[in-house]
Structure 1
């Protein structure tokens, strides 16, 4: 559990700092500070938020901005199907878990080996990112132009590096490597051809197709050596 908390906290810091970029870019795109904060508090999905202000900055209509952000946010629904059976929360905790079910909290959660570590990693990451993302969004939005171009700071690379560090240990099994390679190829091929969000969904579809094709005839999920599966799953 301590390792899960440390991992979640480090990811939360790396991701939260990137909120400065969103806040600054949002106000430069013409979105007000209150509107920028509402996006981080309520939408709370970095990819969708950047997609929305990107459309706004390009002069797109509000409908196009919302549609693009929604399409990109569909991936969080897939994350929910993964973490829901692991957390097994009810009532208001289920609503809170839905709000902080993002790339980072899901990645940290599924990387743990025990139910207690799963919960610790998920909540530490989710709440940590939520608090820091909103705090640094406000900082970036208030500072605005005084910060210059926040993309030059390399914060986007820091967040990506943290996420890659979470994913890398999961690629020990051959099938995971194949899925990752196919997902990358499909995403790169679709990025210049389709709206933002579709490449991510197509990459998820690759994993689903591979899972269906490689499912054993018995219908039971195939366990791979080195996949970091939890003992209770093997049973």
Structure 2
């Protein structure tokens, strides 16, 4: 599904990624882990075509996407839930959901308003409300629903539950678990290692713009020193 090898990327003249590699198979849930500032969001931005790629390989669903424009990456089937949510604040919940809706890949059972409302009933209750007036948790549900409405092959959630109340975090993880059961490929960035080990199939740890460890949840559970060294506070 997504194959990244020896990725190098920069903002302007400042190189941020030096050697990032990761793999996500069809139907898998994978993570990017690491402390703040280690290159996780930059890796996502490189995949999405939103920063300058200096080297390495980026392939999605068999297509070379290194240097591709963000709109091309989206059309190929990558749906992004960005850090900081970034709703369209003056549009209603319903308008946010339909603004980028598409079924370019001709899925037999596409995501629709009805399916998103069934996943997040709170959004249906607030369908006519301006998105900018929602709580942070409701906005996170909205941007997940908005990404699903593009019917992506791969869903990327950058800081999936950061800053959310515990009850909302539980709701988001319930959603991710359901999507996994339905075969959705997902790349997760989050700090809740315990939940991620239960949900994800494989993990990738970044340190200063490099992949320093990769393995399964079972391997991560056995290697507590890795988490303490590269992820723990």
Same fold per superposition (TM over 0.5): no
Larger Rg, first or second structure (1 or 2) = 1
TM-score under structure 2 normalisation?
0.23
Higher helix share: 1
TM-score under structure 1 normalisation?
0.23
